[in-house]
Amino acid sequence: MTSLQSRLQSQFDIALRPPLGPLDGMAGPLARRLGAHAPLSSDDLAALSHLAIREAMITAHTDLVRQGDAAEGAFLILEGIACRYVQRASGARQILALLLPGDLCDPDLAHLERWDHGIATLSPCRVARVPQAAVEDLIAHHPAVALALRRSKLEAEARSRSWLTALGIGLAVERLVRLFFEILDRLHAVGLADRNEGPLPLTQVDLAECIGISTVHVNRVLQELRRAGLLELKGGRLRLLDRASLEAVAGE
């Protein structure tokens, strides 16, 4: 493991310790995520914890699934940040969605012949491959988990809608701030970040590919936000200093 990895992992570890909810204990981020959507029994939780076998540590900026690959089982992100993306022949890449710890992707894609998009790590990630059968088994025998998965999917779709909206009608600043809100909120939901501060192990290139603007412009927008005293971002750590003003910038 490179020291880059250990640096980033420790970022998450630090945030992981303090405020553990009632469901936590030994349960992983998946249980924490799903538990927020539907009440899970200890039996459900046990089943979930058995899901994450075949873990692996993956370095940053590595493909988990390449565009065009044959459809296979699902992935579970245990640590780090990954993404779905589309890459054009021109080399341009658009990130479609972020995959954060606790995200299970993609139970439903089984019916698709081939992946029409790729999945790649952005930061170093601990990832578990989950066979399709295991997911189906889980859904069949644990209705509460199935419900939570459905709700979690709906949430992801809603996020995708607002992501698309931001791309369609939003200046660069707005898109960037919204992205920061989304990341912090989602990390917060699984206990990996504070509401206004958390790890952000993404490069400016990654951010640019999320919100559909050039890297250079990401840099300039960031500096403007910093100069205005609205946020801090350094060393892979993001702090929102003036949430009210930031919300005004994000609009709506």
Partner DNA sequence: CGTAGGTTTGAAAGCCTTCAACGACGGTGG
Partner DNA sequence: CCACCGTCGTTGAAGGCTTTCAAACCTACG
Contact footprint for DNA (CB under 7 A): 2-4, 7, 60-61, 171-173, 203-205, 212-217, 219-223
CA 129 vs CA 76, 77, 181, 243: distances in Å: 6, 9, 29, 37
Which residues in 55-84 contact its own copies (CB under 8 A)?
84
For position 248 contacting its own copies by CB under 8 A, the verdict is: no
**Residue 222 interacts with which of DNA, its own copies, none, CB < 5 to 8 Å by class:** DNA
Q: Which helix (H) or strand (E) holds 74?
A: strand 74-79
Q: Minimum distance from CB of 55 to its own copies (Å)?
A: 28
Chosen residue from 2, 41, 62, 165 binding its own copies by CB under 8 A: 165
Alpha carbon distance 122, 136 (integer Å): 28
Q: Minimum distance from CB of 13 to its own copies (Å)?
A: 33
Alpha carbon distance 120, 12 (integer Å): 19
CA Rg value for the chain: 18
Spatial CA neighbour of 9 closest among 49, 59, 52, 48: 59
Chosen residue from 164, 171, 216, 248 binding its own copies by CB under 8 A: 164
3-state class (DSSP) for residue 239: strand
**Residue 245 interacts with which of DNA, its own copies, none, CB < 5 to 8 Å by class:** none
Question: Where in 123-205 does DSSP place strands (E)?
Answer: 125-130, 197-199
Question: Binding string to its own copies for residues 95 to 114, with x set by CB under 8 A, is what?
Answer: -x-----------xx-xx--
Query: Could you identify the residue written with the tokens 């491959």?
Result: 129
Chosen residue from 160, 185, 195, 248 binding its own copies by CB under 8 A: 160
- Choose between 139 and 167: whose C-beta lies nearer to DNA: 167
The length of the chain in residues reads 252
Question: Binding string to its own copies for residues 113 to 142, with x set by CB under 8 A, is what?
Answer: ---xx-------------------------
Q: Minimum distance from CB of 93 to its own copies (Å)?
A: 8
Chosen residue from 23, 57, 86, 144 binding its own copies by CB under 8 A: 86
- Choose between 85 and 115: whose C-beta lies nearer to DNA: 85
Q: How far is CA 150 from the centre of its chain?
A: 17
Write the DSSP string, 78-112: EES-EEEEEE-TTS-EEEEEEE-TT-EE-TTGGGS
3-state class (DSSP) for residue 155: helix
**Residue 180 interacts with which of its own copies, DNA, none, CB < 5 to 8 Å by class:** none
Contact positions toward its own copies, by CB under 8 A? 84, 86, 88-90, 92-94, 96, 108-109, 111-112, 116-117, 150-151, 154, 157-158, 160-165, 167-169, 209, 211-212, 251-252
